[in-house]
Structure 1
Amino acid sequence: MTGLLGVLTVWAWRGKPRHGSADTGQIAETAQALARMVRRQWEDEAVLRQLFDPAPLPVAWTSCRTEALVDGRTRTDTTLVCHAHDPDELMATFRRATPQRVVVLGPAGSGKTTFAVLLLLALLRSRRPEDPVPVLCPLASFDPSRENTRDWLQRRITEDYPALSDTQRYGTASVVDLLTEHRLVPLLDGLDEVPPPRRAAVLTALNDTMPVNAPLVLTCRTDDYARAVQESTPVANAAVLQPVPLGRSEALAALRLSTVPERRDAWDTLARRLDSIPQAPVAHVLTSPLMATLVRSVYTTGDRDLTELADLRRFPTATALERHLLDALIPTLYERSRRQDPTRHWHPQNAQRYLTFLADELSRQNTLDLAWWKIHTWSTSLVRPWRRAATWLAVALIGQFLANAFVVLLGAPWWVVALGMAHGVAVLPLFLFGSRVPAVSTTPARRTIICASASLIGGLALILTAVPFMPGPGMAVAKDAMASIPFAGLSLWLVVLATGLPGPPELPSHGRPSMAHWRRRLPTALGGVTWVAVSYGLLFASYVEYGHRAAEPRFLTSLRDGLVIGAVLGVALALFRWVRTASAEDHQDTVEATLRTDRLRALLSAAACAVLFVLPDAGIRNKIYFTGGLTDLPIVTAARLLTVGAIGLVLALATCAWPHYLLARCQFAARGQLPWRLQTFLTDAHRLGILRRAGSTYQFRHARLQHHLAESARVPGPRLCAGLSGSGSGSTTSR
C-alpha cells in the first residue's frame, strides 16, 4: 500500500514540466497574440461604453504645474496638451513624454479611465510588430507586501489572457521577457482604488521595480495621489497630466450631437436657460465627463423633460442633481429596454434590487471586481471551512439517499439506504483537511502528508459508520472492517490525486482539453499508467490471496485482474492530468467562457471520479464474491456507483468553482436578492452599459455608481426607482 501511494504521489505531483526560457520566436509570438487579444477586448468594450457614440467627449489634458506631484528629474514640458477624442494627439503626447511615462490625474469622474482606454486603442491601431503592447491592468488587486510589481503584472496579464499560459507554445517566461525588454506598456488604472494604507507602498514598489526608462501609464485621483506622494515619492521620470474642465458649451454640443434629431431642440432650450442662469447646478455638473455621460444615458432618448435639469427647486445643489442622475440611470435604461422588447428584459425595480445587492456585497468585500467564482464568499454557509464542510456533507447525504432509495425500489433491503447515508460521512475529513491546504506549505511532501492523512481518516470514518450495518459475527465484521480500511482510503486517495482536496479554487478553469503537444506527454503518461497498473495489481492480488484465503491459490489470476483494473485507474489519472493542463484558445476568455469551461470540467470530473472511487472496491468484491472473472465487473461497478458513487462525485465537484457558485447563486436567488439566471442578467447589464468587463470579471461602469448603490442598500426601508410611474413589483423575465 505504501509503495503504491508513493508511486502515485511522485507521478501526480512531480510538478510542472520544465521548460527553458522563451526564445526570440516565442517572445515575438506572445507579443502578437497579446496585441490581438487586447485590441479585440477593448474595441468591443469601447463600443459598449459608447466611447465613440458618436464621438468621445472633448476632454482636454495638459501638463500638471504642481511641483510636488512631479518627479524632480522629469523635464517639465508645458506644451503637452491633447484632446482625448483625437487619437493622433493622444499618441503624439505619449511619445513626447520621454521616456513614455505618464501619470494621469484628475478628480472623480474626470475621464481618467476613458483616457487610458482611448490611448490603448490608439497605440494598438498604429502598432508595428516591433512596438510594445499596451495592456490595461486595474491596480486594485496589487498588494506589494505579497508580491513584487513584475510578478503581479505577469499574474494579472496571464489571468486576463489565459491563452498565454500555454507554456508549450509561448514558453514559461514570455510575459516576464516582454516586461524586461520594455515591450509592454502597462496602463495601471486606479491607484485610488487601492486601499489607502497600500497606496504609498504601491508607488514605492513601482519606483523600485520598474526601470525609469520603461514605458508606464498610471491613473489616479489628484487628492489621493498627492497623499500617497507625501508618504512616498512621485512616479519616477514621468510626465503628469491633468484635465482641463469640460466647457459647458462643449458638453452641450456633444450631448446634442448624440441625441436623436427630434430631441435636439430640447438641448437648445436648455442652453438658452443656462445662458440666463449661468450659476445653475446643472452648469457645474456638465463640466464633469462622468455626469455628462449620465445625462446622455438618461435624457438623450425617451420622454424625459430636459429642462427639469435647470429646475432650481428640484435640484438646488449640484449634489442633489448628481444623486438624481445616479438614481435615474438604472430604471431609465431598463424601462427603455423593456419598451423595445417587453418579453426579453428585466423589470426595472427587480434590476435595481439585484444591482444594489451586488454593489453592497462588492463594497463589503472592498473590491470593484465582480468575479463569479468568488460569489460563494458572500454566503455564510460556504465561506467558513466548518460550514462549507457541513453544506457539502448535506449535498453528499442527499445524493446518497436518492441513489440508494432507487436501489431499494429495485428490490434491495432497506438497510442499503442507511449504509449509503453512513458512507457520506467520509467526505467530512477531506473537506476539513482541504480548508487547511492554502494555509500551509504547498510542497509535494507536505501535500502528501495532508492528503494521505485525510484519505486514511476518511476511509476510517467510512468503515466505522458502516460497521453497524455489516452482517455476520462480531469478530468477522471487525476483521472485514480492518481489512477494508486501506482500500477505502485508497479509493479516496485516487479521487484526491485526480482533482485535489475539496475546496473552492482561487481561479476557475481556463481552456479546453487539446491534443496539442501530445507526443511530448505520451511517454510520461505511459510510464505513469504502467507504474499504477503494476503497483495496484500486486496490492490487489495480495489482498485477495492473504486477506480472503481461498480453497486453492489464485494469485496469478488475481494479479492479472489487478493489472487490468490498475491500468484503467492509471489511464483515468492520466486523462485527469491532461484535462488539468488543457490549452486555452488564442483569445481572451469572457465571463461566459470561463463559466462554461469550469462547468464542463466539474461535470466530467464528477462523473469520472464517481467511477474512480468505486472501481477499487468493485474489483475486490467482484473477485471475492463472483466467479465470472472481469465479465461481472461492469455490473458490480454499476451497483457500487448507485450505493456509494455520490461520495466521489461530490468530492470532485467541490474542487471546481462552478458548483460553489451554483450553490451560492441558488441561495441568493431563493431569497430574492439575485435572479435565478444570474449570468443572463449580468450580460444584459453589460450590454446596457451599467457594467463593464475587465478580463473575466465584471465591474460597475462607474465606481461612483457602485458606491451610491451600496449606500442606498444601507438606508432602511424600500428604495423606489426614480423617475418611474407606478410601483408594481413585477416579475423577472429572462432569456
Structure 2
Amino acid sequence: MGMSGRTRRDGVIFLLLAVGGTAAAVWVAYRLDLQPAGVVTAFLPSLGSLYLTWAAFRAERAEGEAGREAPQVADQLAIAVRGQWEAEAKVRRISDPYPLPVSWHAADPDLAESWPLLREMASQWPSGQPSDPSGWADGPAGLAGAGEQIADVFLRRTPTRRLLVLGQPGTGKTVLLIRLLLALLGERAEGGAVPVLFPLASWSPTEQSLDAWMAERLARDYAGLGGPARGSRADRSSHARTLLERGLILPILDGFDEIPQPVRGQALAVINASLPPGQALVLSSRVAEYRDALTPATGVPIRLVGAAAVELRPLAAADITGYIRRDAGGSGTAAARWDPVIRRLGTPAPVAGALNTPLMLFLARTVYNPRPGEHDATLPDPAQLCDRIRFPDSAAVRTHLFDAFLTAAYRPHPRYPCRWSPERARQAHACLARLLTRTLGGTTDLAWWQLHRVLPPRAPQLAAGAAVGALAWFTAGVMGRLIARVAGLDSGWLTGPPAGIVAGLAGGIAGGIGCGLAAGLTAGVAEGLTNALATGHSQWLMTTTANGLAYGFAGGVVGALSGRLTARRTGPAPPSRPRWSWDWRGFAVGLASGGALWFSFRPVFGPVAAGIGALVNAAVYGLAGGAVGAAASTLSAGRPHPAPAIRTQWSWDWRGFIVGIVSGPTVGVTHWAVLEIQARITGEPAYTYSDMLAFVCAYGLAVGLARGLRGKPADLATAVGPAALLAQDRCTFRKLWVTVGLAVGVAFLLCYGATYLLNGGLSYGITRGTAHAEGLALNPAHILVRGLAYGATIGFAAALSQTAWWNYSLARHCLALHRSLPRDLTAFLADAHERRGVLRQVGAVHQFRHLDLQHHLATPTRPDEPPAATPGVPRPRWFGHTRHQPGP
C-alpha cells in the first residue's frame, strides 16, 4: 500500500523544518558570530521529529474515529474464521471418505441444569429469549441426535443456547465442534455473532481473565483485530475487546479437561462470572474431568450456569464396518483384509473396544489402508489386531496404533515425498511432545515464538548482545575505515566512534542491562584486539573493554526503563517486587561498570584524574543500578521475548519518546561532566560542549525512534497461520532495521553536521585546513561513520526488541544441535500438519492431533529413545567485559 497524501505532506514538512532550520541557524551564527547558536542548532532537528510525532498522533486519532463499526468487523472476521476452519477440515480429512456418523445422547442429569430451570432461565434472559420456544426440546432426551443435527440442537432445541459437549477420549469432540462452527457460520445473519473456537489449554484462570485471554487469542490468530476500534485506545486487542464487549463473539471453548486439574473448578467459576446471562456458549470436556470439577474435594460444588449437556456415543459396529471398508476402496483385496477385524466388532474382543472411537479409527486406517498408488502387499495386515496374546486388552491395541501411526504417516508417499525418515520424524515428534509436556508447562499449543523457553533465561540476551556488538565493531571499525579510505577523507584506523560505546548503547535498547553488557563487551573486546593488532599497543584491549562495560550498563538502564514504560499488557501483571525497590545486585554491577572507566581515562588523564573520574562514574552508575536495577532486571528477563510482529507503522508512544529525550542527555551529560572534571585537573582538552549537545540530541532521538515504530494489523479477513506469521515477523524485522537505521543515521548526521558547521568546519574545509577552527574535534569522515555505525546498530537493536524471529532462530538451532530436531523446523511442522496428519493447526499455533498422542510420545517407551530431560544448552557465563576515544 502506497504512502498516503497526508503522510507525504508530513514528511515534506519534516524535511523542510530540519534542513531549513539548520541552514537558518548556520546563517545566524556566521552573521552575528554567536557561539551559543551551536546550542540552538543542536536541537533544531528535533523540531521536525516533534512535528512528525504530533502529525502521527493526529493521524492515528483520525484513523480511530473513522474506524469500522463493530458489526462490519464481525462480518470480516466471519470470512476469516470460515476460511480457516474449512481449510483445517480438509487437512484433517473430516469428509474423507465421508463424515463419520458421530451421535450423542443427553448426558447424566447431574452434569447439567434441570430442564425446567433451563426453560425458566431462557424466558428471563435480559436480552430476550434466545430462540423460538416452540422449537425447544421437551426434555433432555430431545437433545439426542447425530451428525449435522448438532447445529439444530444448539440453535433451536436448547433453550438457553448454552451447550456442554462431553465425551470419552478420542470420541470426536473437537471435530464435532468444527462441524458445529461451520454450520453456525452458514446460518449466521449479517452483523451477527461470529462463532470462534478457543482451545482452553493455554488459558490460566489464576493469571488472566477469560475476556482478556480471548481478546489476546483473537488479536494473535486474526491479526486485523489488533487495530484500533472506534473511540478506543490503539492497543493490540482493541477490536477484539470491542467485539467481546458487544456480544459479537460466540465462544466455543474446547478442551476444558486440558486445564490443570487444581484450577478447573476456579476456571468454571471464572467462565460463569465472565459471560453474562444471555451469552451463547459451547464448552467441551471429557466426562470424568468435568465431573471432578463440579464436585471438588474441598469447596462448594459448581456447574456451568444455564447449560444443557450431551455426551458422545461410541461408534456403532455397523458404522465402523461401512467406514473402514469404504476407506479401503469398498471391495477387493484391501477391504477384504479387514474381515477378521470386522467379525469381532460388537463383541467383547479387545480390537472391538479399541476401534469404537473416531481417533482410533483414523489411526487404524492410516496404518493399514493403502493410499492411492500404493499396494496393500507392502502394508501390515490388520488381522494382527486380533491376536489376543499380543494384544490382551483394548489399551494394548491403542498403544500399538499410537506406536505404528508415525511410521505409517512418514512412509514413502506416492504424491508427497518426505524429507524425513520415519525414525527421524518419531525422534523429532517425541522431542516436541516432551517440550510441550515438561518444558512448556503441559500446554498443547506449539507456538514457535515460545520455543525460546527451552534456552537458559539469559541465552537470548547474550546472543542478541553478541550480534549487536559484532555489528557495531564491523560498522564502526571495519566499514568506517574502508569508507574513509575510499572517500579519501581519512587515512587513520580510528575514524569511527568507539565500537564498545555504540554497541553498549544500542544493546540496551534490544534487551536491557544484560544485552547491553553483552553487546558492549563483545564490541569492546573485538575492537581492542583489532586496534592492538593495527597499532601495536596492547593497552587498547583494556581501554575498549572498559568502555564497552560502562556504556553497556548505561545503555541497558536506558533501554530497560524505556521498554518498561512503553510495555503494553493485556492481562494483570504477575506479582513481582515493588517497582522502584532497591537492587543491591544492580548497585554492584553499576559500581563495577563505572569504575572500569579508569582503564579508559588513564591513558589520557593519568592515574589520579582517571581515578577521580572513575569514582564519579561509579557513584552515578551505582545509584542508577540500585534505583532501577530491579525494574531493569525484571524487564531484562521478559523484554527479549516479544510477541510476533505483523507489519510496521508510525505509531508514536509519547512515554517512550520522552524517555528517549531524557536518557540521551543523561548519558551524554554524565560523560561530558566527568571529562570536564578531569580536564580541569590535568589541563588536557575536554569533550567539547557542542559535541556533547550533538550527541545528547542524536541519541535521544534515536531511542525515541526505536520506540516509536510499532506493529500494524493485517487484513481482518485473513487468519494468520504459524508459517505466515513467522514470514511476516521476519519481514517486519528487516523493515524495522532499515527504517529505524536510516532515521537514526540521519539524526546523527544532522546533529553532528550542524555542530561541525557552527564550530568552523565550513571555513576549515574551504581553506583546506589553513583557517583556525575553535573546538573542531570531528571531521566529515568521523561524522559520516558515526551516522553509519549508530544507524545500523540501533536499527538492528530496535528490530530485535520488537520481533520474535531472532529468538525462534536461536531456539530451533539449539534444539537441532542438542535434541536432533530438524534444522528446518518450520517446514517440518508444516509438513506434519498438511501432509502427515500428525499435527493440527489452531489459529497461529500447532497442536498434536490428539492430546493422548502427545502424552504417548512424551513418555519414552523404547530403550533407544533419548532421555526425557528438559532440552536446552549450557548456561553461558556472561558477566564480565567492555575502547576509548574522547566521546561517543
TM category, shorter:
0.7 to 0.9
Q: C-alpha offsets along residues 107-144 of structure 1, whole Å, 9 cap, x if unaligned? A: 00011111111111121233221321001111123333
Structure 2, unaligned runs of 5 or more: 1-42, 120-138, 465-512, 760-772, 868-888
Identify which of 506, 512, 526 aligns with 2:647.
Answer: 512
Q: Aligned equivalents of 2:728 and 2:367: distance in 1?
A: 37
Aligned to 1:733: none
Query: Is the CA contact (8 Å cut-off) linking 1:334 and 1:346 kept in structure 2?
Result: yes
Q: CA deviation at 1:672?
A: 3.6
Query: Is the CA contact (8 Å cut-off) linking 1:375 and 1:661 kept in structure 2?
Result: yes
Structure 1, unaligned runs of 5 or more: 721-735
Change (3 A) 1:159 1:514: same
Identify which of 274, 282, 290 aligns with 2:342.
Answer: 274
What residue identity is the alignment partner of 1:359?
Answer: A
Query: Is the CA contact (8 Å cut-off) linking 2:154 and 2:163 kept in structure 1?
Result: no
Aligned to 1:193: 258
Q: Is 1:83 matched with 2:134?
A: no
Q: Aligned equivalents of 1:117 and 1:573: distance in 2?
A: 47
Q: Is 1:319 matched with 2:430?
A: no
Q: Is 1:283 matched with 2:365?
A: no
Q: TM-score, normalised by structure 1?
A: 0.77
Q: Aligned equivalents of 1:255 and 1:668: distance in 2?
A: 39
Identify which of 157, 163, 166 aligns with 2:218.
Answer: 157
Change (3 A) 1:572 1:596: farther
Q: Aligned equivalents of 1:704 and 1:698: distance in 2?
A: 15
Aligned to 1:125: 186
Q: CA deviation at 1:214?
A: 1.0
Look at both structures and tell me which one has the larger radius of gyration over its CA atoms. 2
Q: Aligned equivalents of 1:647 and 1:71: distance in 2?
A: 60
Q: Is 1:251 matched with 2:304?
A: no
Query: Is the CA contact (8 Å cut-off) linking 1:508 and 1:656 kept in structure 2?
Result: yes
Aligned to 1:67: 109
Q: C-alpha offsets along residues 335-364 of structure 1, whole Å, 9 cap, x if unaligned? A: 234x6565x511211111111111112111
Q: TM-score, normalised by structure 2?
A: 0.65
Identify which of 660, 664, 679 aligns with 2:811.
Answer: 664
Q: Is 1:238 matched with 2:307?
A: yes
Q: CA deviation at 1:396?
A: 6.3
Q: Aligned equivalents of 1:321 and 1:609: distance in 2?
A: 60
Q: Aligned equivalents of 1:74 and 1:107: distance in 2?
A: 25
Aligned to 1:580: 710
Q: CA deviation at 1:588?
A: 2.8
Q: Aligned equivalents of 1:491 and 1:101: distance in 2?
A: 56
Change (3 A) 1:176 1:528: closer
Change (3 A) 1:334 1:428: farther
SS in structure 1 of the partner of residue 310 of structure 2: strand
What residue identity is the alignment partner of 1:116?
Answer: L
Change (3 A) 1:209 1:461: same
Q: C-alpha offsets along residues 665-723 of structure 1, whole Å, 9 cap, x if unaligned? A: 3332222432222222222222221112222222111100010011126x644489xxx
Change (3 A) 1:465 1:531: closer
Provide the alpha-carbon RMSD of the alignment: 5.3
SS in structure 2 of the partner of residue 56 of structure 1: coil
Q: C-alpha offsets along residues 226-285 of structure 1, whole Å, 9 cap, x if unaligned? A: 111123322122121111221122123223333457x75432442365326753322222
What residue identity is the alignment partner of 1:508?
Answer: A
Query: Is the CA contact (8 Å cut-off) linking 1:611 and 1:641 kept in structure 2?
Result: no
Moved more, 105-114 or 567-576: 567-576
Query: Is the CA contact (8 Å cut-off) linking 1:110 and 1:288 kept in structure 2?
Result: yes
Q: Aligned equivalents of 1:293 and 1:276: distance in 2?
A: 18
Q: Is 1:627 matched with 2:773?
A: no
Q: CA deviation at 1:208?
A: 2.7
Query: Is the CA contact (8 Å cut-off) linking 2:669 and 2:696 kept in structure 1?
Result: no
Q: CA deviation at 1:67?
A: 1.2
Aligned to 1:375: 451
Aligned positions of 1:416-455 closer than 5 A = 416-425=540-549, 427=552
Q: Aligned equivalents of 1:452 and 1:602: distance in 2?
A: 36
Aligned to 1:465: 596
Change (3 A) 1:652 1:453: farther
Change (3 A) 1:631 1:291: same
Identify which of 369, 373, 386 aligns with 1:310.
Answer: 386
What residue identity is the alignment partner of 2:267?
Answer: V
Q: Aligned equivalents of 1:535 and 1:429: distance in 2?
A: 9
SS in structure 2 of the partner of residue 242 of structure 1: strand
Moved more, 651-660 or 277-286: 651-660
Q: CA deviation at 1:211?
A: 2.4
What residue identity is the alignment partner of 1:467?
Answer: W
Q: Aligned equivalents of 1:646 and 1:382: distance in 2?
A: 21
Q: Is 1:58 matched with 2:101?
A: yes
SS in structure 2 of the partner of residue 335 of structure 1: coil
SS in structure 2 of the partner of residue 62 of structure 1: strand
Q: Aligned equivalents of 2:228 and 2:363: distance in 1?
A: 44
Change (3 A) 1:309 1:60: same
Query: Is the CA contact (8 Å cut-off) linking 1:653 and 1:659 kept in structure 2?
Result: yes
Aligned to 1:592: 723
Q: Aligned equivalents of 2:386 and 2:814: distance in 1?
A: 45
Q: Is 1:478 matched with 2:611?
A: yes
Query: Is the CA contact (8 Å cut-off) linking 1:26 and 1:174 kept in structure 2?
Result: no
Change (3 A) 1:483 1:570: same
What residue identity is the alignment partner of 2:78?
Answer: A
Q: CA deviation at 1:537?
A: 9.6
Q: Is 1:705 matched with 2:838?
A: no
Q: C-alpha offsets along residues 381-437 of structure 1, whole Å, 9 cap, x if unaligned? A: 648999999899667645554455455555574433444444454557988996998
Query: Is the CA contact (8 Å cut-off) linking 1:396 and 1:647 kept in structure 2?
Result: no
SS in structure 2 of the partner of residue 61 of structure 1: strand
Aligned to 1:683: 830
SS in structure 1 of the partner of residue 859 of structure 2: helix
Q: Aligned equivalents of 1:159 and 1:529: distance in 2?
A: 29
Q: Aligned equivalents of 1:149 and 1:480: distance in 2?
A: 55
What residue identity is the alignment partner of 2:393?
Answer: T
Moved more, 320-329 or 126-135: 126-135
Identify which of 333, 344, 347 aligns with 2:421.
Answer: 347
Query: Is the CA contact (8 Å cut-off) linking 1:356 and 1:709 kept in structure 2?
Result: yes
